[in-house]
Structure 1
Amino acid sequence: MLQRISRTQFLSVLLLMIIQTVVISGTALYLSGALKEQTQQKSMYQQTVTVGGISIGGLNAEEAEAKIEKVLGEVQKKGTLQIMMEKQSFPIPLKDIQIKYNVPSSLREAQRTSEELTGVWGMWKKWRGTSPPPHLPLYVTFNEEKLTAIINEIARNVNRPAEPARASVDGTSIFILPEKAGYVVDIPGTISAIREQLQEEVQIGRASLVVEKDIPQITKESLKDIKVMLADYSTPIASTPNRLFNAEQAAKLLNGVVLLPGQTFSFFEKAGPFTEAKGYISTSIQNDEDAQDGVMGGAIQVASTLYIAAAKSGLSIIERHNNVRPIASIPLGYDAFVRDKEVDLRFVNRFKQPVYMYAEVKDTQLRVALFGAKAIANGSIEVKEENKIAPETIVRSDKSLGPGQEKIIRRGKEGVRVKVFLTHSNEKGIPKRELLSDDYYKPLHNIVAFGPIPENMKNKAQQQTPNPPESEPSVAPEPSQDKASNSTDKQQEQPSNSQKKGNVYTF
């Protein structure tokens, strides 16, 4: 009896366990979508799933593929991919970049995603916040090399350098014009953006050109304090075409330069080197044995004009060299000779605000003006002539001349030493006078040719001929330690008397 009861209870428990297993399994199958999939193949993809921006929710594989292929056919019919930049559009023919879509692989990925979004597994992932995104890419390939070449061509039309803020000058007035941002196409970034667009939104048929903006350092905001003219200076330019051209070239390179507070300006760095490769034309400066590099003719006048404007404006001159001899277009002591980094014109902006440089050649007149925040009392320049040095006379034998005949080969010019003083008034109106430079300009020696000297006259001529002159001063000496804007100590380079008589030397 007891065995029968035990067997009955065992069968009941076993039956109950079987029923529970069937119920739980059926429920799981239903919730997971597997049962529904077996009974209804039409709703293979979860309702929120999209591929390449195309909704395939509630469709089976065949229906989804047909829908995607239809959209791709419409895209291919348009034939182009539009690359957009602001209001500009650059069309790219799809056939040129050989676009190919892999629809089957994309749908297989969509199926896996649908399974993870439905049933018990989907509920579990949703509860944990790990559900996969329902918006899937449409797998696409294209010829990246050809696309890169096309984007490079677009970039050549789009790229532009940044333009700093500049000024419009009218006499002594200045008006600041805003800067212009530059554009540089990010080619790898653009290709990535195109790939993403083709995968995510295939129907749109356009993608953005990825550009990097280049904001210039000098902006209208940074120049807002420049309101008044600090000083200016003008010099006439000779009508010699090459000299005029060189002056215009140097002025063009100088115009618009902004000198920030604490910044040092170098004329050679900005306007040099004075070569034909830089845009200059050869022209002579001095018609004698001390002729300096003729290519820089005209540019030196711009440096000299800038030098005086800078000195008058209160900028600190830290390096300046005078020419070997006076030049016609610049007063004595006003010139600034520049050759290279070792012989340069340099000054520092010690103001708290930037300084704007304006340079222009107009009607054979060169003008340089400096503008800033606050004009100090315009400096005045005084040139004091210390002494003149008479030229020597060099006599040369010329057998083409008859005995006793003479011919003037070159007429000399006097040398001179000058001191230049700069007077400024401080904020209280008290004038301050300081030595700006101490300059020495060599004399240009006379050269005279004579015919053969008779034998009976040679001994007498040799007795009257003094020793030849010592070596002449260097062309562009370095500034002294005490005054960087001066040439070196001139006291050792010139006679002490106020007017030395010229000697005659025979060679």
Structure 2
Amino acid sequence: MKRADRWLLAALYLSLAAVMGWAATHREREVVLSRFVTSLRGRTPNQVHNVALAARSINGRWIRPGEVFSFNRAVGPWTRDAGYQRAPVSYDGEVVPSWGGGVCQASTTLYNAALLAGLAVVERHRHQWIPKYVAPGRDAAVAYSNIDLRLRNDFPWPVRLGGEVRGQLVEFRVVAPERPPGRFEIRQRVAMVAPPAVVRQPWREGLPARRVRNPGRPGGRVLTYRVRLQEGREVARELLSDDTYPAMNRLLLADGDGQGGLN
């Protein structure tokens, strides 16, 4: 091993030892800065498995003062070798199977816990369509290697992330030795709503027998703010995102002559 490599390993060891030593000293007086829960009801078993695996990868992770946390780096590639399973994801208006399907619910739940704790948002992306498990503007899409959720700890102390699946709920929380003054709230303003269009597709052999191929989903524009309150009064307001989601078409199968269909 080269001398420079030994120095780097020693520095990393000392940094980790400092955090772990601090944790052992302060664990007994930790406070929960925030927690956020989303429902897994309606998700497939494989999606739930993938969400739980991602939550376990993050549970217990520390973010040091000034450090930037990367969801993708913490969770790693969601591949079969990593234990992930193929599960449904929405792609271009269709539901298709993909390795790690459902992981975005873990990143979204963590994102909301981070917002309520006061962590800084370095990188966040909306989904193509409004997800069903959280309000529009409060989602955080991820795709390994190119779409990430990154959070920065601007507090003068380390924070610890917790994540777990319990039954049909996934919860993330942020824990610290102290609680900063005041509290944070998320407020939103809906600027526009776009109803889904109805698209009729002639039936052909190989298509499913059900008349509604996709029930559709409304779109719209929503502005999301983080408000800091002290003694019940607003002292700061931060625009987190200005998101515009397209409406997902309601896709129906027409009758054999192509003229009918379900309204």
Q: TM-score, normalised by structure 1?
A: 0.43
Counterpart of 2:9? none
SS of the residue corresponding to residue 52 of structure 2 reads helix
C-alpha displacement of 1:374 = 2.1
The percent of aligned pairs where both chains have the same amino acid is: 28
Amino acid at match of 2:134: I
Q: Which residue of 1 aligns with 2:51?
A: 247
Q: CA deviation at 1:425?
A: 2.8
Distance 1:447 1:247, change over 3 A: closer
SS at match of 1:244: helix
Q: Which amino acid aligns with 1:228?
A: V
Which of 192, 196, 200 is matched with 1:387 structurally? 192
Question: Which stretch of the first structure deviates more once superposed, 242-251 or 222-231?
Answer: 222-231
Q: Residues of 2 paired with 1:353 and 1:441: CA distance? A: 37
1:230 aligns with 2:33: yes
Q: Does 1:256 align with 2:63?
A: no
- Provide the C-alpha distance between the structure 1 equivalents of 2:258 and 2:115, rounded to a whole number of angstroms: 55
Question: Rg bigger for which structure?
Answer: 1
Structure 2 gap ranges (5+): 1-12, 206-210
**Residue 444 to residue 378, structure 1, CA distance change in 2 (3 Å):** same
The residue identity in structure 2 corresponding to 1:382 is R
Q: Contact 2:221/2:243 (CA < 8 Å) preserved in 1?
A: yes
CA displacement at 1:359 relative to structure 2: 0.9
Structure 1 residue ranges without an equivalent (≥5): 1-213, 401-406, 455-507
**Residue 346 of structure 1: CA displacement?**
0.3
Take 1:318 and 1:328, find their aligned partners in 2: how far apart are those partners?
25
Q: Give runs of aligned pairs for residues 29-48 of structure 1, distance below 5 A.
A: none
1:439 aligns with 2:243: yes
Which fold has the larger relative contact order, with Cα–Cα distance below 8 Å and residues 6 or more apart in sequence? 2
- Which structure shows the bigger proportion of residues in helix conformation? 1
Summarize the Cα distance change of 1:409–1:248 in structure 2 as closer, same or farther, 3 Å threshold: closer
| Aligned mates of 2:50, 2:106 — CA distance in 1 | 9
Q: How far apart are residue 430 of structure 1 and its match?
A: 5.0
Q: Of 6, 9, 17, which residue of structure 2 is paired with 1:217?
A: 17
CA gap 1:266/1:412 in 2 versus in 1, 3 angstroms: same
Structure 1 position 219, deviation (Å): 5.2
The Cα RMSD (Å) is: 2.7
Supply the AA of the counterpart residue of 2:39: P
Change over 3 Å in CA distance of 1:332–1:320 after alignment to 2: same
Call closer, same or farther: CA 1:254–1:450 in 2, change over 3 Å: same
Partner residue in 2 for 1:205: none
Of residues 149, 163, 174, the one that matches 1:370 is 174
Q: Secondary structure, in 3 states, of the residue corresponding to 1:294? A: strand
Q: Give the Cα–Cα distance (whole angstroms) in 2 for the partners of residues 408 and 228 of structure 1.
A: 48
Distance 1:225 1:421, change over 3 A: same
AA in 2 matched with 1:411: P
1:301 maps to amino acid: Q
- Give the CA deviation at 1:322: 1.2
- Aligned to 2:112, the other structure's residue is in SS state helix
In 2, Cα distance between the equivalents of 1:409 and 1:240? 18
Report 1:94-109 matches (<5 A).
none
**Contact persistence 1:313–1:375 (CA under 8 A):** no
Q: Distance in 1 between matches of 2:93 and 2:234?
A: 47
Number of positions where the alignment pairs a residue of Structure 1 with one of Structure 2: 235
TM-score by length of 2: 0.79
Instruction: State whether residues 320 and 344 of structure 1, in contact with CA within 8 Å, keep that contact through their aligned partners in structure 2.
Output: yes
Amino acid at match of 1:258: W
- Please report how far the alpha carbon of residue 421 of structure 1 lies from its aligned counterpart in structure 2 after TM superposition: 1.3
Q: Which residue in 2 is equivalent to 1:309? A: 113
CA 1:265–1:292: 2 relative to 1, 3 Å: farther
Structure 2 residue aligned with 1:14: none
Matching residue's letter, 1:358: G
- Report the counterpart of residue 131 of structure 2 in structure 1: 327
Query: Larger strand proportion, structure 1 or 2?
Result: 2
For the residues of structure 1 that align with 2:66 and 2:239, how far apart are their CA atoms?
Answer: 23
* Structure 1 residues 447 and 358: alpha-carbon distance in aligned structure 2, compared to 1, 3 A threshold: closer
Q: What does 1:351-430 correspond to in 2, within 5 Å?
A: 351-376=155-180, 377-398=182-203, 409-425=213-229, 430=234
Q: 2-side partners of 1:428 and 1:444: how far apart?
A: 39
Shift of 1:221: 2.5
For 1:17-96, list aligned pairs within 5 A: none
Amino acid at match of 1:236: S
Q: How far off its partner does 1:252 sit?
A: 0.6
Q: 1:7-41 deviations in whole A, cap 9, x for unaligned? A: xxxxxxxxxxxxxxxxxxxxxxxxxxxxxxxxxxx
Asked if 2 retains the 8 angstrom alpha-carbon contact of 1:261 and 1:351, the reply is: yes
Secondary structure, aligned partner of 1:303: helix
- Provide closer, same or farther for how the CA distance between residues 292 and 351 of structure 1 changes in structure 2, counting only shifts above 3 A: farther
| Rounded Cα–Cα distance in structure 2 between residues aligned with 1:264 and 1:288 | 31
